[in-house]
Amino acid sequence: MSASNVLVVGLKGLGCEIAKNIILAGVKSVTLYDPEKVEVSDLSSQFFLREEDVGKPRAEVSAPRLAELNQYVPVSVYDKELKPEDIGAFKCVVVTEMPLQKQLAFSEFAHNNGVCFISTEVRGLFGYAFNDFGDSFKVEDPTGEEPLSGMVASIEQTAEGVVTCLDETRHGLEDGQFVTFSEIQGMAELNGCEPRPVKVLGPYTFSIGDTSSLSEYQRGGLFQQVKTPVTLSFASLKDALESPEYLISDYAKFETPAQLHVGFQALHAFSAANDGRKPRPGNDEDAAEVVRLANEINDRWSQKTELNEELLKKLSYQAQGDLSPMVAVFGGLVAQEVLKACTGKFTPIKNFMYFDALECLPIGFKPSAEDLAPIGSRYDGQIAVFGRKFQEKIANYREFLVGSGAIGCEMLKNWAMMGLASGPNGVIHITDMDTIEKSNLNRQFLFRPSDVGKLKSETAAKAVVKMNPDIAGKIATHQDRVGTETESIYNDSFFDGLDGVTNALDNVEARQYMDRRCVFYRKPLLESGTLGTKGNTQVVVPFLTESYSASRDPPEKSIPMCTLKNFPNAIEHTIQWSRDLFAGLFTQPAENVNAFLSTPDYIESSLAQSNEASQVETLTTIRDYLVADKPLTFDDCIAWARRRFEELYNNTIQQLLFNFPKDSVTNSGQLFWSPPKRAPTAIAFDPTDSTHVDFIEAAANLHAFNYGLKGSRDRDHIKRAAAAIDIPPFTPKSGVKIQVNDSDNAEESGSNDVSRLDELAASLPDPSSFAGVRLSPADFEKDDDTNFHIDFITAASNLRAANYGISPADRFRTKQIAGKIIPAIATTTSLVTGLVCLELYKLIGDGEGESRRKIEDYKNGFVNLALPFFGFSEPIAPERRKYNDVEFSDWDTFEFDRDITLQELIDFFESEHKLEVNMLSSGVSMLYSPFLNRKKAEERKAMKLSAIVESITKKEIPAHVKWIVLVVCCNDADDEDVDVPEVRVKIRD
């Protein structure tokens, strides 16, 4: 990317969105071409234009604002007349807002001169993208997925060469992929061999071709997938118009691409015949002309299709439409295509992709030329599609945005362009407790370097008010995380003042909490997420769809504890081990010491709840960190780090090999150190080895931080001091137990020595002798490059990898894994938020009663821009359950508008539903059950439900809580347990 020059033609909303995303990505340079003057209608989607810019050249006004996004990407304006021969200096050219005949001339030059050509347009709720990357375009990595690897169990010496993998994990390979091998014993010719093609035989087996002439396989080995480049041939625009290939964006609309292929050509033909004018919004005369032109084009086309006149009319009606969400969808999509053109990474679109979102039109929408006509407003591009009445609905909508990171910034930009909450009754609430970090700037485009350290919610709000002053005073910013502890802020009154909620969160726990709140208050929820080039969207509509929490992703696969402790076989294992080691050396011990020094009767109170083994470990740590390992100088910290090195990478490994020598066998006669186990080798400290010194430097500085001592980066001194430490020789001990499997009951050596508890407790110093002393725990922070956290984990992990013969990982990869970083990229974020805002249109335009939207009108989206893949499905309906003959879902409740007694509740279920209440709970508190003695039961039956809750929890119900929620268990007439909806009781107005 850093060697690629890109030209963007047309700086309305779509061109600006594309330019923004590729500048954030970091290409070599971006040149803008658009000499046309800014019009008020451009403000519908061009977020870097202001009202005072009207009449000025679009490119000149946009360039300095785009340049602010990334100081490393020069942004310039091409200020001469642009001719086809002028584009030869660019790697990639993107054209928007260009007549078709002119596009054909530019495409032809680009095709013949090795320039990647992309054309894209958005017309209302319709859009397309086209790629021509030349006759021979090499894709270096078609998918962007990490190469697969795995452990080999056996390889047959046959004509097929069948490879069997360990039955722990599926190989995941596909036919036609290539693999090579390493660490094979016996059939060593395969180690580092030329990549061999794969034929998949089963989930754990594949063939690699003839191995009959190779040595006999003995044991061990790893396979590694090898990515092979793919060469693609693209047609020029002229040829592609006649013989198009389509990327299907929505399989429910399989016939639509051919219709729109003709329709967009008809729009260009209309404009060419009318001095560049587009069809007027809702104008039947212009629409009839577009349909006539479409039929002419279709009759001449070699792939003549049956045209849908109604669809073409809608395309004509919306030709002047300019919608920010559609611009975001195509701006993200096309920007990723530009990056593919520049890098050869990921598979490009070949060659057209058409997309429409007509489901967004309001229920019962009947377009009229009067309602759709422009009014000289910044929202004319949106009014041209939805009309003025709908614009008023948008302006008075009330939405809560949870999070203002990457997705939140894009969401706010789209909402500002839409005019969301710009009316007298509209409001946008934003909450985000985080401050802006430097690492946010490459994808959270509302923030600039000068904003680092400021609150995200406040900064984002100020940035979008500049984009649309109409929303000034309409954004309420908060800095409180959403959770049970802030329900006094985000209370009944708060949710009563909302029409919906949009999540822009980065963790499942907060998403599920907001989902529960939306179910409770019956508010629609818009949910989305990204993972690199992958993205998903989900719409939750009360009573119509299931909630977010109703479906869950499978849990992440965890690493067995015995693998982490003693038998790692992959770099991910050593990184996780090092991450745990960081907490065990620099976080937990300091916290334990502080608790010991500040808690009276610490041993009796705080430790009483843990088992004896944990108590021994905790007390040993406290004693060591207050006495034996308490440093006075930084050199003491170096000595401590050197002893840790010896213990972790030499002594522990020697003990492990003493217990299980490299030639030891199991009871079945198999070698103990068979895959997936890797036999380790102890490491002797070497002051000339940079990784060894990295470990000592990071560990010593972190230990010094714990005690408030000044650290040092003088590596020469650290080397000399570490080398001078006298380390006694280690002799492995007999009788030490080492856990081989997680199912084993064997404890690690000495950890269950209960008899040591009293001795340890007696050896602890008196806390009063450390008055005012506190240690500083090192709370893991991946984004501070000066704090030694990632340095320690990288060195510790790579040393452990060296112990076990595992290939090391560099600092960046270690940081990704240890910090559980999933890269967020601007292109996917832009597209996903565009899709979310299309669903928002549907929620705003929903009807009432019989005219409400059907579930099939909504779309959950799944995209992978790398492949590229688009998949849309209707949301899942909520699960229906039944008691007697009554059906209900999670959205249904029993509501009482006053604080009733327990007896009244029991009577209600018995008389109204023929159900017997046998258990009642509120949160974790049991209010009523068959186990209650008769006297208590009768007492409670006479009490108000709120009083019972307060009596059992021994806490007053907070003043902001208007409703209490109860879970009821009932029996029907057949004495069978039945599920019933939850009960809500209003206890105050």
The catalytic site residues sit at 562
Tokens of 475: 């954004």
- Following DSSP, what letter does each residue of 769-837 receive, concatenated? GGTT---------TT-TTSSHHHHHHHHHHHHHHHHTPPP--HHHHHHHHTT---B-HHHHHHHHHHHH
CA 25 to chain centre: 18
Residues in the chain: 989
Q: How many other CB atoms are found less than 10 A from the CB of residue 242? A: 11
How far is 290 from 903, CA to CA, in rounded Å? Answer: 71
Say if residues 337 and 25 touch (Cβ distance below 8 Å).
Answer: no
Bridge partners, 681 (sequence order): none
Say if residues 780 and 587 touch (Cβ distance below 8 Å).
Answer: yes
Say if residues 412 and 401 touch (Cβ distance below 8 Å).
Answer: yes
- Following DSSP, what letter does each residue of 606-656 receive, concatenated? TGGGS-HHHHHHHHHHHHIIIIIT--SSHHHHHHHHHHHHHIIIIIHHHHH
Judged by phi (left if over 0) then psi (alpha if -120 to 50, else beta), residue 923 lies in left
How far is 813 from 515, CA to CA, in rounded Å? Answer: 33
Tokens of 266: 């008809």
CA angle 222/223/224 to nearest 5° reads 120
What is the enclosing helix (H) or strand (E) of 927? strand 925-928
Instruction: Give the CA diameter of the chain.
Output: 97
401: three-class secondary structure by DSSP: strand
Give residues with Cβ within 8 angstroms of 710, minimum separation 6: 634, 704
How far is 858 from 544, CA to CA, in rounded Å? Answer: 10
CA 406 to chain centre: 10
Say if residues 184 and 191 touch (Cβ distance below 8 Å).
Answer: yes
Nearest Cα residue to 901 out of 875, 863, 938:
938
Specify the amino acid at residue 414.
N
Say if residues 798 and 574 touch (Cβ distance below 8 Å).
Answer: yes
Give residues with Cβ within 8 angstroms of 609, minimum separation 6: none
Say if residues 835 and 870 touch (Cβ distance below 8 Å).
Answer: no
How far is 659 from 673, CA to CA, in rounded Å? Answer: 12
